[in-house]
């Protein structure tokens, strides 16, 4: 059907039948960015469009929604600066579901009692149904595992609510006021550890009598209409990195507007992978996408990054330099800036991790969310065709657009590229020592390891952390690695990530060195990254692993560089598990990297949360 618009005959677009009001979408109130996004993503997988709204949004913003979900969040209802909400929302005549913080907030607001928690309950709990026939619990077994992460709990539900399910430690695990169609649950149905979580969300969608008509295919029609309106008679200048998101955006815009009105700009920022820019240009040309202009701007990027070592500063410089290059190239190509709109392949989570809503903290500023871009966005001068989509949905759209499978399923690569995988340091020689508490813990558990004198970014309780990694230097099974990783990051605030040293377990002496984004370490990282990608492909691991950042840290062992591998399994990058690589294969990879000059190989054994996928 898309081919209809290649010829520019937009009238041929088959439109969706007009939807009846209140029947096709659900609002998620954002009390904590990551939680809200996971809920929205899961509900969309059920075929229902979701939008994330600020809890303080005015009541007119809720028109057209069939139901409202109050998300969980890191706050306590007792905190002074707790996220508030517009109480009129509770009077809207649509079903509402509160999850965790949302459950507590609704019950407290309506006169129930929330007891402040002394201990945080974190992990899987057995949910036992009290009213198995209840519509919200349809299809759930009498007992099932659900993920809990809370301190406070509802000790007395508000008037009109009854208990419909409990766990041993939390009686009011699920409550319902059927007359008002308000429900509350203490556990998190959106995480994969909650086996019947999706079923419960589906039950809520059914209570809302919501049509399940949303799919990336249908969304494409809606998006096309929206873009045609938004672009008007202007042309589009799109930044194309060659990754999944920007390529999907490029193909989509070409198909809607035709190649004459779209121009792609690929900027080689010197932070790309080995041979990447040449490969992107060649690949797109092979698929008849030749409206691409390539600019080699390595020198400018490296000059702007000179002497910079703070991650957020580096990210902002890279984002700003992209804009600087865009202006230079527009001038070179003699394009009238009045007639060309800038487009980029921003996806939904980029906004949230950059602190895009009231209750979301800045975890990291994505390159497409720097201040200058935000200004242009506010003025309506930026087109972001994928800004409402999650990674899995962008891929589905890519398939829909017939983009070759191999490209759609390429490992994601961040916009700032190797710039955020080459960790920098303006100090040298500093060593850190384990605290007495850490040493006691290690002795008690019979493991050896050291806190490293560097820092990486993490996300815990929905907030940003910037703390040290801890390297485990005794042989461990992956199950033990997972156990220690969770225990140590929970226990010691100065540690937000664990790595496992591959190869012979001699106690290496890690030395901090000065390191910046300069050509030499970048070239070395490019070479190592290339060896690792080949290794994944040669050993059939490329598909199994969702993404594997290779990180060069400012440390040496015996004068040789230290490399970190961060292979993860994920679907939408909001949460991730570290990948358990076969140890024999891992040792094989270590031999390859050792021969290439690597002094020590560290394998990241941290889930997200508490670690982010990238190190900065």
Under the binding rule (CB under 6 A), the answer on residue 364 touching ligand XMP is yes
Active site residue 424: no
Q: What is the CA radius of gyration of the chain?
A: 25
Cis peptide before 118 (omega within 30 of 0): no
User: Which part of the chain contacts ligand XMP (CB under 6 A), choosing from 17-25, 285-293, 335-343, 362-370?
Assistant: 362-370
Active site residue 103: no
Query: Min. distance of Cβ 549 from ligand XMP in angstroms?
Result: 7
Angstrom distance (rounded) from CA 181 to CA 383: 39
Angstrom distance (rounded) from CA 9 to CA 13: 8
- Other Cβ atoms closer than 10 A to 307: 10
What phi and psi values does residue 170 have, to the nearest 5 degrees? Answer: -140, 100
- Other Cβ atoms closer than 10 A to 335: 14
Question: What are the E-state strand segments in 306-423?
Answer: 340-343, 382-383
User: Which part of the chain contacts ligand XMP (CB under 6 A), choosing from 9-17, 413-421, 462-470, 599-607?
Assistant: 413-421
Query: Min. distance of Cβ 354 from ligand XMP in angstroms?
Result: 8
Under the binding rule (CB under 6 A), the answer on residue 366 touching ligand XMP is yes
Angstrom distance (rounded) from CA 201 to CA 190: 8
Angstrom distance (rounded) from CA 550 to CA 244: 19
Under the binding rule (CB under 6 A), the answer on residue 612 touching ligand XMP is yes
Each residue of 371-394: b (16+ CB within 10 Å) or e?
A: eebeeebeeeebbbbbbbbbbbbb
If the CB atoms of residues 202 and 353 are measured against ligand XMP, the closer one turns out to be 353
Under the binding rule (CB under 6 A), the answer on residue 414 touching ligand XMP is yes
User: Which part of the chain contacts ligand XMP (CB under 6 A), choosing from 150-158, 431-439, 524-532, 606-614?
Assistant: 606-614
User: Which part of the chain contacts ligand XMP (CB under 6 A), choosing from 99-107, 254-262, 328-336, 364-372?
Assistant: 364-372
Residue by residue, DSSP assigns 268-312 as E-S-SPTTHHHHHHHHHHHTT---EEEEE-HHHHHHHTTT---HH
Query: Min. distance of Cβ 130 from ligand XMP in angstroms?
Result: 38
Site size toward ligand XMP (CB under 6 A) is: 14
Active site residue 399: no
Query: Min. distance of Cβ 548 from ligand XMP in angstroms?
Result: 10
Binding track over 545-584 against ligand XMP, x by CB under 6 A: --x-------------------------x-----------
Q: Which of 30, 152, 329, 353 is the binder for ligand XMP (CB under 6 A)?
A: 353
User: Which part of the chain contacts ligand XMP (CB under 6 A), choosing from 161-169, 332-340, 558-566, 605-613?
Assistant: 605-613
Under the binding rule (CB under 6 A), the answer on residue 416 touching ligand XMP is yes
If the CB atoms of residues 329 and 614 are measured against ligand XMP, the closer one turns out to be 614
Query: Min. distance of Cβ 319 from ligand XMP in angstroms?
Result: 8
What's the order of all strands across the beta sheet hosting 182-185? 49-53, 25-29, 65-70, 96-99, 182-185, 174-177, 162-166, 121-129, 143-150
- Helix axes of 436-445 and 478-491: crossing angle, nearest 10 degrees: 150
Q: Which of 188, 367, 395, 497 is the binder for ligand XMP (CB under 6 A)?
A: 367
Instruction: Decide: 181 and 68 in contact? Cβ < 8 Å.
Output: no
Angstrom distance (rounded) from CA 376 to CA 344: 12
Query: Min. distance of Cβ 482 from ligand XMP in angstroms?
Result: 18
Angstrom distance (rounded) from CA 77 to CA 369: 31
Instruction: Decide: 487 and 399 in contact? Cβ < 8 Å.
Output: no
Q: Which of 29, 210, 565, 613 is the binder for ligand XMP (CB under 6 A)?
A: 613
Query: Min. distance of Cβ 616 from ligand XMP in angstroms?
Result: 8
Active site residues: 100, 188, 190
What residues line the site for ligand XMP (CB under 6 A)? 353, 364, 366-367, 412, 414-416, 547, 573, 608, 612-614
């Amino acid at each position: 059907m898309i081919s209809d618009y290649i010829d520019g005959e937009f009238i041929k677009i088959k439109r969706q039948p007009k939807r009846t009001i209140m029947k096709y979408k659900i609002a998620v109130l954002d009390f904590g960015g990551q939680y809200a996004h996971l809920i929205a993503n899961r509900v969309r997988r059920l075929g229902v469009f979701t939008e994330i709204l600020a809890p303080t949004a005015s009541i007119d913003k809720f028109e057209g929604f069939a139901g409202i979900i109050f998300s969980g969040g890191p706050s306590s209802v007792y905190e002074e600066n707790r996220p508030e909400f517009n109480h009129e929302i509770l009077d809207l005549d649509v079903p509402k579901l509160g999850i965790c913080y949302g459950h507590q907030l609704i019950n407290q607001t309506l006169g129930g009692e929330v007891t402040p928690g002394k201990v945080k309950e974190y992990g899987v709990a057995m949910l036992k149904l009290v009213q198995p026939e209840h519509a919200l619990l349809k299809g759930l077994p009498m007992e099932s595992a659900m993920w809990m992460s809370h301190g406070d709990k509802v000790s007395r539900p508000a008037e009109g609510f009854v208990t419909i399910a409990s766990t041993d430690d939390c009686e009011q695990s699920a409550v319902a006021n059927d007359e008002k169609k308000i429900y509350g649950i203490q556990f998190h149905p959106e995480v994969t550890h909650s086996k019947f979580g999706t079923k419960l969300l589906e039950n809520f969608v059914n209570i809302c009598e919501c049509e399940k008509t949303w799919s990336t295919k249908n969304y494409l029609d809606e998006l096309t209409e929206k873009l045609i309106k938004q672009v008007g008679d202007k042309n589009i200048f799109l930044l194309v990195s060659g990754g999944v998101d920007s390529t999907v955006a490029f193909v989509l815009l070409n198909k809607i507007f035709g190649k004459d009105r779209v121009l792609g700009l690929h900027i080689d920022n010197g932070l790309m992978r080995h041979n990447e820019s040449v490969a992107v240009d060649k690949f797109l040309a092979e698929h008849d996408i030749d409206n691409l202009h390539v600019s080699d701007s390595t020198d400018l990027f490296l000059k702007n990054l000179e002497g910079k070592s703070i991650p957020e500063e580096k990210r902002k410089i890279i984002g700003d330099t992209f804009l600087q290059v865009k202006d230079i190239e527009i001038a070179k190509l003699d394009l009238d800036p009045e007639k060309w709109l800038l487009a980029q392949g921003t996806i939904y989570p980029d906004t949230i991790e950059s602190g895009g809503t009231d209750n979301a903290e800045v975890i990291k500023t994505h390159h497409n969310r720097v201040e200058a871009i935000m200004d242009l966005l506010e003025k309506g001068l930026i087109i972001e065709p994928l800004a409402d989509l999650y990674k899995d949905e962008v891929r589905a759209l890519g398939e829909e657009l017939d983009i070759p499978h191999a490209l759609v399923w390429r490992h994601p690569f961040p916009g700032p590229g190797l710039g955020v995988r080459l960790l920098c340091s303006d100090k040298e020689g500093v060593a850190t020592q384990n605290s007495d508490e850490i040493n006691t813990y290690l002795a008690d558990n019979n493991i050896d390891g050291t806190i490293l004198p560097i820092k990486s970014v993490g996300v815990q309780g929905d907030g940003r952390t910037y703390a040290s990694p801890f390297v485990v230097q005794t042989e461990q099974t992956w199950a033990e690695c997972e156990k220690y990783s969770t225990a140590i990051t929970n226990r010691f605030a100065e540690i937000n990530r664990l790595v496992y040293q591959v190869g012979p377990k001699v106690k290496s002496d890690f030395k901090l060195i000065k390191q910046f984004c300069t050509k030499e370490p970048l070239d070395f990282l490019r070479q190592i990254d290339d060896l690792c990608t080949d290794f994944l492909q040669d050993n059939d691991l490329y598909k199994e692993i969702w993404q594997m950042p290779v990180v060069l840290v400012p440390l040496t062992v015996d004068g040789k560089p230290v490399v970190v591998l961060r292979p993860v399994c994920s679907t939408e990058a909001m949460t991730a598990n570290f990948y358990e690589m076969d140890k024999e294969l891992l040792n094989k990879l270590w031999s390859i990297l050792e021969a290439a000059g690597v002094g020590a190989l560290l394998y990241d054994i941290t889930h997200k949360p508490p670690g982010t996928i990238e190190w900065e």
